[in-house]
Structure 1
Amino acid sequence: MTVTVLGSWTVTSTSIDHPDAVAVLRAYMADVIGSYGLAEPTDEVVDAHMAEDTSDDLAPPTGLLVVARHDGKVAGCGGLRFVSSEIAEVKRMFVRSSHRRLGGGSAVLIALERHARACGISRLRLDTRHDLVASHALYRCHGFAEVPAFSSGPYTERWFGKELN
């Protein structure tokens, strides 16, 4: 399913092994590695982190992945991991730095919500880092509210949820 959600943004559900998905997931991982100063995000370092923290759960039947394009160029992604028949977690929310502040995060969230509703999901949740203030504002703008912790991990410091109507 392709959903054009905001102007020049198009968001498409995509197989996790599609070349566009692989490229944007690599960019996501390189961004995470670089932002934490874990290492220089070389191809080898990115490969190692992707092998350790796979996106396999974003493929049917356990989830889905969307790729966002801005004016036809791959610029971001997001995923849903189905926790139950009613709950899905938003994962791998990412927009390339060159495309930020152009509405891509909103485009991805809107598409993920549409996919979740189509799958019968009634609640979305996500975890994030404490320092991603712009992301927190994006989530709040789309109706997410802070909720009690439901997960743990080295970069899991804030939790958000949203009931879908």
Structure 2
Amino acid sequence: MNPTDDRAGGAQPAWSFTAEPLTSAVARALWREYYTEVSDRWHQREHGTDTDPADLEREIAADTGDGLVPPAGVLLVVRCDGEPAGMAGTRLRDATTAELKRVFLRPAYRGRGGAAFLVAAVEQVARELGATRMVLDTRRDLVEARALYRRLGYDEIAPFDDGPYAEHWYGKDL
């Protein structure tokens, strides 16, 4: 089941999603783009420079995404008019709580309804895994993501983890 893009006016992009292993070429490329963007933003904030390439490679290698695999997790790739546009994942934290992870949309596809479509797709998959609640953490500098989550009905909640980059926590009943 694919959620629909409900934007008004103009030609609607054709959004779709598929579950893909992190080892697929498309997923690996999106994973790298995600890490490059969020790492460079953090390094710019903290040090005024982009991430050192060797550090970036270590960061990418360190996060294997092993929680985003069946049976308790999934990585979704979203496509716009058939072209890979982004990714997001979910994993069960317990029998009824899923965690939203690695939400990323390529810059060329932003502002076209894809982020909301992608989060709705992940929420649907989380429900299919048995979740009745979705939680996530994010950083303070990812203001676009924080605005998206609030717009989609996520409320700030008490911290549920102590990740090194977790600065804001959100939750939503599914």
Do the two structures share a fold, i.e. TM-score over 0.5? yes
Aligned residues: 162
Deviation at 1:46, TM superposition (A): 3.6
Write out aligned runs for 1:29-48 (5 A): 29-37=35-43, 39-40=50-51, 42=53, 44-48=54-58
CA distance in 2, matches of 1:60, 1:12: 13
Aligned to 2:81: 71
Deviation at 1:4, TM superposition (A): 5.5
Checking the alignment, whether the CA contact within 8 Å between 1:63 and 1:82 is kept in structure 2 is yes
Runs (5+) with no aligned partner, structure 1: none
Aligned to 1:3: 2
Among 61, 70, 81, which residue is 1:60 paired with? 70
Q: What SS is found at the alignment partner of 1:93?
A: strand
CA distance in 2, matches of 1:131, 1:33: 11
CA distance in 2, matches of 1:163, 1:4: 17
Q: Which has the higher strand share?
A: 1
TM-score of the two chains, using structure 1 as the length reference: 0.89
Structure 2: which amino acid aligns with 1:80?
Answer: T
CA distance in 2, matches of 1:51, 1:103: 31
Aligned to 1:98: 108
CA distance in 1, matches of 2:152, 2:139: 18
Bigger Rg, which one? 2
Identical residues among aligned pairs (%): 38
Considering only aligned residues, what root-mean-square deviation do their CA atoms show, in Å? 1.8
Q: What SS is found at the alignment partner of 2:2?
A: strand
Task: Flag the 1:113–1:135 CA change in 2: closer, same or farther, 3 A.
Answer: same
Deviation at 1:80, TM superposition (A): 0.3
Among 111, 117, 138, which residue is 1:128 paired with? 138
CA distance in 1, matches of 2:55, 2:80: 28
Aligned to 1:18: 24
